[in-house]
Structure 1
Amino acid sequence: MPEGLKHERVAAVLTREIKAGLVRRGARLPGEVELARRFAVSRNTVRAALSQLIADGLITTRSGKGSFVIFDGRPLDGRLGWTHSPADPDLEVELRTLRIAHEQTAHRTDRSEKLIVIERLQVAANKPIAWERSWIPALDSLRDLPKRGLVNDSIALTLTRAGLHPDHCRQRLHGRALDPTEAKLLKRRTGSWFLHTERTSWTADDRFAEHSECLLDPSYFELSLDYGTS
């Protein structure tokens, strides 16, 4: 097999494992020697595959320490809007689920329907740096989600397992001041300035998949958007 095709095969397998949650955010990937042995390829091929994962925003490399997963469970396809991650790849971030509950609302879904709301907090060094609230449809396969929880703590993976594959979205980004309730949750002063993102996504056949709102501390997060690539 040509060397180029070999590194693409290795990258494809590792990408699937990372996005499926088999290798969690913050986990260290096996070293080059171990990966080369696993895939029966050269270390140069492994390096090329890892470079592709870095370019795709799935991992980061720390000098002398190895490669670590930075993918947080959200779709990284630029067609699905902005992606956000801590600006410091070495930052240890804990994801805490605050609540998962049934809710009936027309909030951002264009029509009233039964939904499941998911609220989560990202914490670094015991300091909240982001808050997220998402609504997803209460499909039969998801009705017991409040009891069983998310698949590998990932909304994206949970939707995929339920047969919902986001295909297109509408998203907004702006900065705004925290209100008293948000400030208390994020342990900041009322009026502190945060990034605010909203995203609604649908499947290819225009079924509602998810609406999410995020408040991100601009001192910790960077946002990126890729487009024009196949």
Structure 2
Amino acid sequence: MLRTKSEKIANVLEAEIRSGSLLDGDALSSESALVERFSVSRSTVRKGLGILAAKGLIRTKVGIGSFVTYGGTVIDSGPGWSLALADAGTRMGTRILTIARQPMELDAPDFSDAEVLAVDRLRFLQDTGRALTLERSRVPWRDDFEPILTQGLQDGSLSRTLEAQRLSPAAGEEWANVLPALGPRDAALMGREPGEPMLHLRRLTRTAAGDVAEYVESLLDPMLFGLHMRF
């Protein structure tokens, strides 16, 4: 079977990644450098990088990148800010508020599924008990999710639960804005005063096939978290 130039580029770079020549977190060469290296067009290089992104081997950020920070430290990560923060050694506790099968009630882009697995979590600093974030995750409902409703999450982690169900994100988008006033219900959950502003993140991830994997809305303490712009 003949391979396209894009597939050949992807195969070469994938071999370098899997062999350890390119380590996790290493930057790939620029598009211009790859164009020169492989003697192909820029569009061919981009298609090759797209193949790697679909496999979850690379993450490409075009133009200006916006990153969530904690205490001024960038904690951007493909699996999500909370996992990156935990990996950095922050001692967090998690309280599961909701695990349910229900209609989709959040306004998520490109999310057409009527029913979802809903998981709401409160994360807090173990040392002080201070609430870090309130997260609402929504996953398109599948019949094999039924045991989760009674057995709970694997090791208390939605990410590990979804991985066990062979549902892994390959790409995604994230949006950030400021919620001007925290509502009474969310304020009570976070131990805050109603009306406080919060950092509001929305995150949509997709599988390699392009289907929605998970949608998450997070409210973060703006005194602890911010945004870092990279040019």
What TM-score do the two structures reach when normalised by structure 1?
Answer: 0.57
Alignment correspondent of 1:164:
167
- Is 2:141 the partner of 1:143? no
- Cα separation, 2, equivalents of 1:156 and 1:222: 24
2:118 matched to which residue of 1? 117
Deviations 1:127-147 (A, max 9, x none): 222100101122232122121
TM-fit CA distance, 1:215:
0.5
Change (3 A) 1:128 1:83: closer
Give the match's secondary structure for 2:77. coil
| Corresponding residue pairs, total | 156
Match of 2:192 in 1: 188
Q: 2:208 aligns with which of 204, 207, 218?
A: 204
Deviation readout 1:126-177 (Å, 9 max, x if unpaired): 2222100101122232122121111222222211111112122222101122
Q: Flag the 1:158–1:86 CA change in 2: closer, same or farther, 3 A.
A: closer
What's the TM-score, normalizing by structure 2? 0.57
Q: Distance in 2 between matches of 1:225 and 1:144?
A: 42
Which residue does the alignment assign to 1:98? 97
How is 1:34-49 mapped onto 2 (pairs within 5 angstroms)?
A: none
Q: In the superposition, relative to structure 1, how do residues 119 and 106 fare at CA in structure 2: closer, same or farther (>3 Å)?
A: closer
Q: 1:110 to 1:138 in 2, by over 3 A?
A: closer
Distance 1:142 1:198, change over 3 A: same
Structure 1 segment 57-76 matched on structure 2, within 5 A: 76=77
Structure 1 residue 112 displacement after superposition: 3.4
Aligned to 1:213: 217
Structure 2 residues not aligned, in runs of 5+: 1-19, 25-74
Deviations 1:48-103 (A, max 9, x none): xxxxxxxxxxxxxxxxxxxxxxxx9xx933xx7x635659x665321111110001
User: Are 2:135 and 1:132 equivalent residues in the alignment?
Assistant: yes
CA distance in structure 2 between the partners assigned to 1:95 and 1:148 by the alignment = 17
Percent identity at matched positions?
26
Q: 2:212 and 2:226 mapped to 1: Cα distance? A: 27
CA distance in 1, matches of 2:218, 2:134: 6
The change in CA–CA distance for 1:202 and 1:220 in structure 2 (over 3 A counts) is same
SS across alignment from 2:154: coil
Q: Deviations over 1:179-207 (max 9, x none)?
A: 22211211111121211100111111121
For residue 176 of structure 2, give the secondary structure of its aligned residue in structure 1. strand
The 8 Å contact of residues 136 and 216 in structure 2, kept in 1 or not, is answered as yes
Q: Which amino acid aligns with 1:94?
A: G
Q: Does structure 1 conserve the Cα–Cα contact (< 8 Å) formed by 2:124 and 2:131?
A: yes
**Aligned-residue CA RMSD (Å):** 3.4
**2:119, 2:138 within 8 Å by CA — same for their partners in 1?**
yes
SS of 1:152's equivalent in the other structure is helix
CA distance change for structure 1 residues 91 and 203 in 2, over 3 Å: closer, same or farther? closer
Distance 1:215 1:102 in 2: 22
